[in-house]
Amino acid sequence: MIGGLSHLDYVDRLGEMKLTTLECRRLRGDLIETFKILLGLEGLNPEPFFDLSTVQHRGHQLKLYKSRSNLNLRKFWFSQRVVNYWNILPRKAIEASSVNIFKGHVDKFLKNVGRLYISLSKLSAPVTRTTASSAVV
């Protein structure tokens, strides 16, 4: 523990140290990894992880389909927990020319979104499904 901060609660300590929550750091990492997988920068086939939406909504071209899951194990899996946030990222972020530029856009997005108190149910929109390999070049 850093001296002088032991009397503060978790959120206040983070504020004093100018850090984000563990949840926010995890989400940031998930979004960056998703970007790298979908653009083929990791050398992984995106098909086992993600299904791209066939219905074009407002926003970017790489909207992901979130399949239904009844088990918590599946609900909180990487490829499921990132979908809602990925789908509301601005087009500018998705069309970034490099990972570092994408990181900058994600940081702005997370700062504007707040401390992860978004109601995920408000972000969920039914979309239809296609395979990732057929839509990613």
Q: Which two tokens stand for residue 46?
A: 């995106």
51: left (phi over 0), alpha (psi -120 to 50) or beta: beta
Q: What is the pLDDT of residue 103?
A: 94
For residue 90, pLDDT over 80 is answered with: yes
Higher pLDDT, 84 or 68: 84
For residue 117, pLDDT over 80 is answered with: no
**Where are the chain's structural domains?**
21-135
Distance, CA of 62 to chain centre: 12
Q: Which two tokens stand for residue 134?
A: 């057929």
- Where would I find the H helices in the chain? 10-17, 22-38, 72-75, 78-81, 83-87, 91-94, 99-113, 120-123, 132-135
Mean pLDDT of the chain: 75
- pLDDT digits over 120-130, tens only? 333 444 444 44
- pLDDT digits over 15-63, tens only? 888 888 888 888 899 999 999 988 888 888 877 777 777 677 676 677 7
Higher pLDDT, 49 or 137: 49
